[in-house]
Amino acid sequence: MRKPKTSRRSDAPPDRNDRRRPSRNQLTMARTTTNRPDRRVVWLLILLGGVTISDRAVDAGEPVKKTFSVVGYLPEYRARGFDETVCRQLDELVFFSVEPRADGTLDTSRLKPAMVKQLGQLKRKYCLRLRLCIGGWERSSAFATCCANDATRARFIRQMIDFCRSHTFDGVDLDWEHPKGPVQQASYTRLIVETKRAFRPLRLSVTAAIAGWQQLSPTAAKSLDRIHLMSYDADGRHSTLQQARDDIDRLRRTGIPAERICLGLPFYGRSLDKKRTAHTYAEIVRRFAPAATVDETNGIYFNGPSTIRQKTRLAVSSGLAGVSIWEIGQDARGPRSLLRVISKSRRGSVGRP
């Protein structure tokens, strides 16, 4: 965003040779004018000042408004049969995912033309922000090669811009799982910083999904508009309330503002045996019908309504940017819906009612 030009005063400066003593009325008028500036000028200064502050806020990667957002991921393999009415309870929909190639191009083969059309319709119908996820688990193998080279990294960023602008996406969610060692960490930082620099003039935003244990450089963190904290998939009981508290605290201690953190919530469970098999929340409800206060059944640990309520309230009370859900196609329908619990628990925060 360009900074506004400073407007010049239209009135000419006084004649330096005119040394006549002003009258009492002139002095009174001068004091009044000094103490009570023209309201139009005041409002103009406020507006211009607001633009300048916004520019600085974006440069620092900090949001201008403090809102609470409910962000839902939608994988391509859920798009066909998913209940679109759940979008009424979302602020942002993240499509998962397209994959980077080693040469800096995007593999968009999973995003079919019909899906692009469907996503655009959902965005307009439910007034959603629409985000494109890049990478993900088992879809991140080319990040290291792509981002190690200046030329391929620049091509990668151009490809993301072209795709977002062609298909009405509002930005990208970078999901490199996971950079290994200092060289890849440095490449990841360069990717984030350069993506934000290229996106900013186009009003596209940049978020990143990171694991609860994952390190993020201060430079990278400052360039992100928001961080989706994947506070799940830990060992054992993979997503407890205490783990959520600990993961938030860890990020906060690194200097990341609360208002740029989205707490990740799992709509699935994992078996407690060595296989760690994933089960959707809808499947758990259908097979075992656990009580709302239960988080463990038949050797599967998950987040039931009570825990989801507590986590959402934790996010609200901690001043977080919101919650991010992996993923909305795993939810149960009707009164057992976890998304419905989130919607009720967020009330009182700024955002969608």
3-state secondary structure the chain: CCCCCCCCCCCCCCCCCCCCCCCHHHHHHHHHHHHCCCHHHHHHHHHHHHHHHHHHHHHCCCCCCCCCEEEEEEEHHHCCCCCHHHHHHCCEEEEEEEEECCCCCEECCCCCHHHHHHHHHHHHHHCCEEEEEEECCCCCCCHHHHHHCHHHHHHHHHHHHHHHHHCCCCEEEEECCCCCHHHHHHHHHHHHHHHHHHHHHHCCEEEEEEECCCCCCHHHHHHCCEEEEECCCCCCCCCCHHHHHHHHHHHHHCCCCHHHEEEEEECEEEECCCCCCEEEHHHHHHHHCCCCCCCEECCEECCCHHHHHHHHHHHHHCCCCEEEEECHHHCCCHHHCHHHHHHHHCECECCCC
pLDDT tens for 213-256 read 998 999 999 999 999 999 999 999 999 999 999 999 999 999 99
The percent of residues in the chain predicted with pLDDT above 70, rounded, is 80
Calculate mean pLDDT across residues 331-353.
Answer: 84
What is d(CA 331, CA 9) in angstroms, rounded to the nearest whole number? Answer: 61
Q: How far is CA 283 from the centre of its chain?
A: 28
Residue corresponding to tokens 């609470």: 68
Over 80: is that where the pLDDT of 55 sits?
Answer: no
pLDDT at 126: 98
pLDDT at residue number 66:
61
Among 181-185, 306-310, 343-347, the range scoring the smallest mean pLDDT is 343-347
Kindly report the average pLDDT of the chain as a whole number. Answer: 85
Q: What is the pLDDT of residue 63?
A: 40
Percent residues over pLDDT 90 in the chain: 78
pLDDT band for position 155 (cuts 50, 70, 90): very high
- Cα 140 to Cα 213, 229, 336, distances in angstroms: 18, 18, 34
For 264-287, the pLDDT digits (tens) are 999 999 999 999 999 999 999 999
Nearest to 230 by CA among 216, 215, 244: 244
pLDDT given at position 348: 60
Q: Which of 36-40, 42-46, 187-191 has the highest mean pLDDT?
A: 187-191
118 phi/psi in degrees, rounded to 5? -60, -45
- Max Cα-Cα span within the chain: 96
Q: What confidence category does residue 46 fall into, taking pLDDT thresholds of 50, 70 and 90?
A: very low
Structure-model confidence comparison of residues 46 and 294, the more confident one: 294
pLDDT at residue number 352: 54
pLDDT given at position 21: 42
Over 70: is that where the pLDDT of 13 sits? no
Side-by-side strand order, sheet with 278-280: 278-280, 268-271, 300-301, 296-297
pLDDT for 81 equals 84
**pLDDT tens digits for 116-128?**
999 999 999 999 9
Query: Domains of the chain by range and CATH?
Result: 63-267+304-345 (3.20.20.80)
Please tell me the least confidently modeled range out of 10-19, 72-81, 93-102, 259-268. 10-19
pLDDT at 257: 96
**Which pLDDT score, from 0 to 100, does residue 349 have?**
60
